[in-house]
């Protein structure tokens, strides 16, 4: 019995094993750890497109190709419409000479052609500024302003936007509209780049030309050519001109020159300026008295003396003002308490002591000679007064006259020369003028 029972158990186990093999495999239970179930399809491998994505990409490419063909056929018409729109809406375009209008027409055609090429290969880097603006000569940037360029670009883009429904393939209108907007942004940046480069080149040339004009005035080589160069820089015909000279501040000289120009525009002055070595030279012109207005420019100079040359009538005569300012700047060390700015004529005695022949002649011609022609009494009274330490009583005793007589004669000296002997600074100037006049040979005439 035990043996029979064991055999029966073995048969039962064998039947169960066979039944399990014959039965269909049960579905594997869901794994909550990875969130996947057997029914979830496997995702596509990275870098590969699904069938739906491939179909959409193919459709977009076909639409883009169809739009590109239609765009190539319509490019001439678009350019013609853009030029017609400019002629209708832009008054400055109608007033331009035919040559300039043809240049703008070339730019419009090149812009649409460049858009076609860009639409064909939007991913490829392209120099849009070269494609569009390279067809016109460089003089076009001088013929039309940046504002006018923006207007003609806006007009061309508007014509292209209005033609989208006609040019784009059916179903590709949104794509082409987006492309036009992106291309308009690129054209805007390209326009800014072209005008920035032109401004930099023109600014560098103007700076060299301006420095040449200023240097000609300082060296005394001013001629009619200087007038034409100054006119090219925007110099008008002011009735009063002077030269200001001082030390140039440290740093970029271009920034200093630009600061002078801004200050001059605010003060409504004509200005030519340059940094020559360590000196900052400013030629100032105006119809009103430029000395007072020129004070607005003093802040652009480095610390130290600033000398203002005498006012002259025109730019060619500014050579004399420049020489006086340069001589005054050299001699200013002899007057540490000089005001800032100081007039070159106020430094006549220091300039004369430093060897400036122009200052010596001016002192003799404006002080000694008029006093000598007015009578010997004025020269004698002035000389004695200065020798007596500006004492009326002392001068009267030395001259054997009444003090009122001395006082009267000194007033006459002031009327003749413009210098008051009782003023310390004026007395110093008068003393130097008397010494130079008596020396005679110390002054070179001619």
Whether 139 maps to a domain, the answer reads yes
Q: What pLDDT sits at residue 6?
A: 47
Higher per-residue pLDDT: 397 or 24: 397
Residue 430 maps to a domain = yes
Please identify which residue in the block is written with the tokens 């330490």: 389
Give the pLDDT confidence score for residue 320 in this predicted structure: 93
Predicted confidence at residue 47, as pLDDT, reads: 53
The token pair that represents 34 in the structure block: 């990875």
Residue 2: predicted pLDDT: 44
- 433 vs 390, higher pLDDT: 433
Residue 19: both structure tokens together: 């039944």
- 409 and 300 fall within a common domain: no
Instruction: Choose the most confident range, by mean pLDDT, from 17-21, 147-151, 345-349.
Output: 345-349
pLDDT at residue 32 in the model: 45
Neighbours of 275 (CB within 10 A): 19
What's the pLDDT score for residue 1?
A: 42
Which segment of 14-28, 159-173, 322-336 scores lowest on mean pLDDT?
A: 14-28
The sign of the torsion formed by the CA atoms of 59, 61, 62, 67 equals positive
Q: How confident is the model over 415-431, as pLDDT tens digits? A: 999 999 999 999 999 99
* pLDDT, mean over the chain: 79
Give percent of the chain above pLDDT 70: 78
Which residue has better confidence, 239 or 149? 239
Residues 290, 251, single domain; the answer is: yes
Complete DSSP assignment for 344-381 = GGGGHHHHHHTT-HHHHHHHIIIIIHHHHHH-HHHHHH
The answer to whether residues 278 and 381 belong to one domain is: no
Span 51-62, mean pLDDT?
Answer: 72
**Which segment of 9-13, 122-126, 403-407 scores lowest on mean pLDDT?**
9-13
In a domain, 351, yes or no: no
Domain match, 99 and 180 both: yes
CATH number at residue 339: 3.30.70.2730
- Count of structural domains within the chain: 3
Q: Do 247 and 313 reside in the same domain of the chain?
A: yes
pLDDT category, 324, cuts 50, 70, 90?
A: very high
**pLDDT for residue 166 is more than 80:** yes
Q: 33: which 2 tokens? A: 């750890």
Banded pLDDT at 139 (limits 50, 70, 90) = low
Examine the domain organization and report whether 231 and 186 are in the same domain.
no
More confident: 18 or 241: 241
User: What was the pLDDT predicted at 46?
Assistant: 52
Structural domain boundaries, residue 303 = 226-345
Task: Using the 3D structure, point to which of 317, 345, 373 is the last residue of a domain.
Answer: 345
3-class state of residue 302 by DSSP: coil
Instruction: Give the pLDDT confidence score for residue 124 in this predicted structure.
Output: 60
pLDDT on residue 349: 96
Of 211, 336, 354, nearest in space to 280 by CA = 211
- Most confident by average pLDDT, 176-185, 245-254, 293-302, 358-367: 358-367
Same domain for 337 and 376, yes or no, is no
Point out the domain boundary residue: 132, 166, 200. Answer: 200
Residue 414 sits in the same domain as residue 325: no
| Whether residue 335 is found in the same domain as residue 372 | no
Task: Express each pLDDT in 17-31 by its tens digit.
Answer: 554 444 444 444 444
DSSP conformation letters of 198-246 = HHHHHHHHHHHHHHHHHHHHHHT---HHHHHHHHHTT----SEEEEEEE
Report the chain's C-alpha Rg in angstroms: 45
Which pair of tokens denotes residue 378? 């004025």
Q: Which residue has the higher pLDDT, 238 or 196?
A: 238
- Asked if 335 and 368 sit in the same domain, the reply is no
Residues 96 and 184 reside in one and the same domain: yes
CATH of the domain at 406: 1.10.10.2840
DSSP 97-121: -HHHHHHHHHHHHHHHHHHHHHHH-
pLDDT at 308 over 80: yes
Among 18-22, 97-101, 373-377, the range scoring the smallest mean pLDDT is 18-22
If one compares 223 and 36, the residue with the highest pLDDT of the two is 223
What is the pLDDT at residue 243? 93
Confidence of residue 126 (pLDDT cuts 50, 70, 90): low
Minimum mean pLDDT among 35-49, 66-80, 99-113: which range? 35-49
């Amino acid at each position: 019995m035990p043996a029979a029972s064991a055999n029966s158990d073995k048969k039962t186990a064998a039947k169960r094993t066979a039944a399990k093999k014959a039965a269909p495999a049960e579905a594997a239970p869901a794994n909550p750890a990875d969130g996947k179930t057997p029914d979830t399809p496997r995702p596509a491998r990275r870098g590969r497109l699904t069938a739906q994505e491939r179909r959409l990409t193919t459709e977009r490419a076909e639409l883009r190709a169809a739009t590109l063909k239609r765009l190539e056929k319509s490019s001439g018409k678009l350019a013609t419409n853009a030029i017609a729109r400019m002629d209708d809406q832009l008054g400055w375009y109608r007033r331009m000479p035919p040559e300039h209008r043809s240049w703008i027409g070339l730019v419009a055609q090149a812009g649409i052609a460049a858009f076609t090429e860009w639409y064909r290969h939007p991913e490829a880097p392209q120099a849009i500024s070269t494609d569009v603006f390279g067809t016109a000569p460089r003089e076009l940037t001088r013929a039309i302003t940046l504002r006018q360029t923006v207007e003609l670009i806006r007009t061309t883009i508007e014509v292209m936007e209005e033609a989208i429904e006609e040019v784009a393939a059916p179903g590709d209108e949104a794509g082409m509209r987006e492309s036009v907007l992106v291309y308009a942004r690129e054209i805007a940046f390209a326009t800014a780049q072209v005008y920035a480069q032109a401004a930099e080149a023109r600014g560098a040339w103007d700076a060299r030309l301006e420095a040449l004009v200023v240097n000609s005035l300082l060296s005394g080589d001013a001629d009619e050519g200087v007038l034409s160069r100054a006119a090219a820089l925007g110099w008008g015909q002011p009735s009063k001109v002077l030269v200001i000279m001082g030390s140039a501040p440290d740093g970029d000289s271009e920034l200093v020159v630009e600061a002078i120009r801004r200050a001059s525009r605010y003060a409504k002055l004509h200005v030519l300026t340059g940094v020559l070595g360590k000196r900052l030279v400013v030629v100032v012109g105006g119809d009103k008295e430029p000395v007072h207005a020129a004070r607005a420019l003093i802040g652009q100079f480095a610390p130290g003396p600033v000398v203002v040359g005498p006012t002259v009538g025109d730019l060619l005569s500014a050579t004399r003002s420049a020489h006086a300012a340069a001589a005054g700047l050299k001699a200013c060390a002899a007057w540490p308490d000089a005001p800032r700015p100081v007039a070159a004529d106020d430094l006549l005695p220091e300039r004369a002591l430093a060897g400036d022949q122009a200052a010596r002649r001016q002192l003799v011609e404006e002080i000694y000679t008029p006093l000598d022609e007015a009578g010997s009494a004025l020269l004698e009274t002035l000389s004695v007064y200065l020798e007596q330490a500006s004492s009326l009583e002392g001068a009267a005793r030395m001259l054997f006259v009444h003090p009122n007589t001395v006082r009267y004669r000194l007033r006459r000296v002031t009327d003749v020369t413009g210098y008051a002997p009782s003023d310390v600074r004026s007395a110093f100037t008068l003393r130097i003028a008397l010494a130079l006049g008596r020396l005679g040979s110390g002054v070179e005439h001619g």
